[in-house]
């Protein structure tokens, strides 16, 4: 995981989080106990949950840190752009999708990372353990914090949408999974541009091969074409179906992003 425990938001809880994340028995209650203010549970007010959402603004997406980008995007930055992207589903998809439902799913899908943190394929946390941490966190949010808010209905709705994304059976969830990937591809190219060709983030280009829907693939192709124009023939890494990452990396990313197209 991250070697940089210095919090950029003035709080000192990130080291607690890192310690909890590497512990074998990660418990949501232990992480919550280490927060600057322990949220009130079983209340009819949604305010403790509103405070919890701040953590999505201050928790960084981890994948970029390995490349020295410490002040990169937050979890909510990522979910915000995804939410907007869902509204641009082309006609061929939009006619088959419940778009507002997709927008909500984009807003909810990484919510558990507020307490779990952003666990990436290289962190050495098994997929089933990552799932356990995330589902117990979602239970905590929707039952402990929101169980009595609005009769528990909004919490239940959030839980159902999160579970639908995890199960990835509906067309809506498949679309949002693809949007998750195109958002990463966009950010990859944007960080490369900012670093004026001194940073090759091509490792992430493998994610584009995991996109399922042709409409989203077309967006990815466009962005990857922009990337080729940016590098203008200079040496850089590009993964495709024919040029794959090494076995270990392949195993890790396939476990997280799925083997099947």
Nearer to Zn ion, 113 or 144 (CB): 113
Q: How many residues bind Zn ion (CB under 5 A)?
A: 2
The structure tokens listed for 28 are: 């949501």
| Dist CA 75 CA 114 (whole Å) | 8
Q: Shortest Cβ distance from residue 109 to Zn ion (Å)?
A: 6
172 binds Zn ion (CB under 5 A): no
56-64, 105-113, 156-164, 191-199 -> range binding Zn ion (CB under 5 A): 105-113
In the complex with Zn ion, the residue whose CB is nearer, 73 or 180, is: 180
- The answer to whether residue 180 forms part of the interface with Zn ion (CB under 5 A) is yes
- Do the beta carbons of residue 216 and residue 178 sit within 8 Å? yes
In 10 A of CB 125, how many CB atoms? 19
Q: Verify binding: residue 110, Zn ion, rule CB under 5 A.
A: yes
Q: How far apart are CB 90 and Zn ion at their closest, in Å?
A: 21
**Which residues, 6+ apart, have CB-to-CB distance to 148 below 8 Å?**
42, 43, 44
Question: What DSSP character marks residue 87?
Answer: T
Residue 134 makes contact with Zn ion by CB under 5 A: no
Residues within window 3-22 making contact with Zn ion, judged by CB under 5 A: none
Residues 6+ apart with CB under 8 A from 53: 76, 114
Residues that bind Zn ion (CB under 5 A): 110, 180
């Amino acid at each position: 995981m991250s070697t940089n425990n210095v919090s950029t938001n003035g709080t000192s809880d990130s080291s607690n989080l890192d310690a909890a994340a590497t512990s074998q028995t990660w418990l949501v209650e232990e992480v919550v106990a280490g927060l600057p203010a322990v949220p009130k549970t079983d209340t009819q007010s949604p305010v403790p949950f509103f405070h919890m959402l701040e953590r999505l603004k201050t928790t960084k997406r981890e994948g970029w840190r390995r490349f020295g980008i410490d002040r990169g995007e937050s979890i909510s930055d990522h979910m915000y752009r995804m939410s907007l992207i869902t509204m641009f589903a082309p006609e061929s998809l939009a006619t088959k999708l419940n778009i507002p439902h997709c927008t909500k799913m984009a807003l909810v899908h990484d919510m558990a990372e507020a307490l779990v943190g952003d666990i990436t394929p290289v962190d050495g946390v098994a997929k089933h353990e990552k799932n356990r941490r995330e589902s117990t966190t979602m239970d905590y949010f929707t039952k402990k914090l929101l169980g009595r808010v609005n009769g528990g209905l909004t919490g239940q709705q959030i839980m159902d949408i999160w579970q639908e994304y995890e199960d990835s059976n509906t067309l809506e969830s498949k679309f949002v999974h693809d949007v998750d990937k195109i958002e990463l591809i966009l950010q990859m190219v944007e960080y490369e541009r900012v670093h004026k060709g001194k940073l090759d983030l091509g490792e992430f280009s493998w994610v584009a091969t995991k996109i399922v829907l042709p409409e989203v693939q077309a967006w990815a192709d466009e962005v990857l074409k922009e990337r080729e124009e940016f590098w203008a023939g200079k040496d850089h890494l590009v993964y495709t179906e024919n040029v794959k990452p090494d076995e270990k990396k392949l195993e890790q990313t396939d476990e997280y992003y799925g083997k099947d197209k």
